[in-house]
Amino acid sequence: MITRRQAWAVLALTLMWGVNWPMMKLSLGQMTPLFFRATTMSLGAAWLFVYVAQKGQRMWPSGREWAVIAALGLPNVLGWHTLSIIGLQDLASGRAAILGFTMPIFTVLLGVAFYRERLSPRVLLAVICASLAIALLLWHELSSLAGRPQGVAWMIGAAFSWAWGTLMFRRAKLTLDPLVVTVWMLLMGSAVVWCLAALWEPLPQPGLFNTPMWLSLFYGVFINYGFAQIIWFGMARDLPPATSAMSIMAIPLVGTLSATVIVGEMPTWQDWAAMLFVCVAIASVLLPSKTPAATPA
């Protein structure tokens, strides 16, 4: 049974990460994707560094921890954060959120393929549901004159990278607090994204930004890369997996619904059907079975 404070934390995180999708989409009208990502990621990581340091955590990696953090940052930051913002540029924000949160399904499949985890009937159900969701959204993009099916590919690549990075994170041997590792991944990753943005995109023009654009930047720095990260790691330590799973399943729903208000996107029946399939798939792989787990020795 979770406490009232934990329930509010789950609700807050779901709203923060759900609303973040249309807020990012809002920003792409006036700022290129890589410059937006580099700006919010670096500033968010900087203030998160200060916050965590004040908690008395050891902040500086030692020895080979630097190399491990850099390796973890490739799929978790450069893969997920970079590919997802590029995919979002081509897709409706709710649609991008649905595809991005196929991550848990990819995590389980990669575990089966590379770490000899068991392929259960629930995993097969998740694969079928996720495949149907992707097919529905890809069909919509291909059938629309203005559709951009490459956005679907970018988002699937982002979800795959996040899944691979999650498996790497679970098996990494680090003595640092996980939130500290995340801060360093964001700082190191943002430096690379700044370089990529400078090479491939025109410089942004802050003098032309309107109020919604500045609000989107503020949201990205302080909410998405700040408070939401703090809540997430607190949840990961304190809450049962089923509770955090329910939060993950609700994020695409919040993203789709909030997009109608923030950016005026109206979901299609394919979006609603895909969201249902993704929720079923995530529930299949994340929610615990009725069979009690063995007690560790």
Q: Which residue has the higher pLDDT, 145 or 285?
A: 285
The radius of gyration computed from the CA coordinates of the chain, to the nearest angstrom, equals 19
Q: Identify the pLDDT of residue 294.
A: 37
Would you call 101 helix, strand, or coil by DSSP? coil
State how far the Cα of 218 lies from the Cα of 81, in Å rounded to an integer: 17
Cα(186)–Cα(69) distance, rounded to whole angstroms?
Answer: 10
Q: Which residues contact 227 (CB under 8 A, 6 or more apart)?
A: 12, 16
For the ranges 188-197, 217-226, 261-270, which has the lowest average pLDDT? 261-270
Whether the predicted pLDDT of 209 surpasses 90: yes
Nearest CA-CA partner of 200 in 66, 121, 96, 85: 85
Range of lowest pLDDT (8-12, 90-94, 116-120): 116-120
What integer pLDDT is reported at residue 244 of this predicted model? 62
pLDDT at 295 over 50: no
Condensed to tens digits (0 to 9), the pLDDT of residues 279-291 reads 888 787 766 665 4
**Stretch 151-170: mean pLDDT:** 91
Tell me the per-residue pLDDT of 5-56, one tens digit each, with 9 for 90 and over: 877 888 888 899 999 999 999 999 899 999 999 999 999 999 999 999 998 8
Mean pLDDT, residues 180-195 taken together: 95
At residue 292, the pLDDT reads 43
> Tokens 């994204």 correspond to what residue?
193
- CA-CA distances (angstroms) from residue 259 to 18, 19, 172, 218, 255? 9, 8, 36, 18, 6
- 251 pLDDT higher than 50: yes
User: Has residue 225 got a pLDDT over 70?
Assistant: yes
Asked if 247 and 235 touch (Cβ cutoff 8 Å), the reply is yes
If we measure between CA atoms, which residue out of 99, 88, 47 comes closest to residue 226? 47
Residue 148's pLDDT band, with cuts at 50, 70 and 90, is: confident
The reported pTM is: 0.86
Q: Where does the pLDDT of residue 293 fall: very low under 50, low under 70, confident under 90, or very high at 90 and above?
A: very low
Q: How high is the pLDDT of residue 213?
A: 94
Write the pLDDT tens digit of every residue in 121-138: 887 888 888 888 888 888
Across 134-150, average pLDDT: 77
